[in-house]
């Protein structure tokens, strides 16, 4: 299970307002074999629908695919004049009885 330790996003932009309606959002888990363009489309769809997306990645290859997908999603959303900010932090997950480190990518729409 993921240990949930959500923190407030720090955008380093004092006037930025973020979409805050993401509390009940189910995270996407990104695999090393995931296609970044397809994941980016899913991220963009979630941001358009709910204002945010959350992705979890375990392992270097998975984190790499997730980072590429987030960058692509930013460009997809920019075409619709939607700005997003991404916060990245660590999680501890249980996989087959052992603890592993994971990364959480929280993508949120900037409202102003």
Question: Distance between CA atoms of 78 and 89, rounded to whole angstroms?
Answer: 24
Structure tokens at 92: 């501890």
* pLDDT over threshold 70, residue 17: no
3-state secondary structure of 78: helix
Cα angle for residues 78, 69, 31 (degrees, 5° grid) = 160
**% of the chain residues with pLDDT over 70:** 79
Q: Which CATH class is domain 28-110?
A: alpha beta
* pLDDT over threshold 60, residue 4: no
Mean pLDDT value across residues 60-73? 98
Structure tokens at 16: 């930025």
* pLDDT over threshold 50, residue 13: no
pTM of the model: 0.79
* pLDDT over threshold 80, residue 2: no
Determine the pLDDT at residue 10. 39
Cα angle for residues 10, 16, 21 (degrees, 5° grid) = 75
Domain ranges within the chain, ordered by starting residue: 28-110
């Amino acid at each position: 299970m993921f240990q949930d330790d959500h923190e407030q996003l720090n955008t380093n932009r004092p006037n930025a307002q973020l979409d805050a309606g993401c509390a009940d959002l189910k995270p996407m888990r990104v695999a090393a074999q995931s296609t970044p363009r397809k994941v980016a489309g899913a991220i963009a769809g979630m941001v358009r629908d709910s204002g945010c997306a959350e992705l979890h990645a375990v392992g270097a290859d998975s984190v790499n695919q997730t980072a590429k997908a987030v960058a692509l999603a930013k460009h997809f959303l920019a075409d619709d004049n939607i700005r997003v900010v991404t916060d990245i932090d660590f999680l501890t997950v249980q996989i087959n009885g052992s603890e592993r480190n994971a990364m959480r990518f929280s993508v949120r729409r900037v409202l102003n």
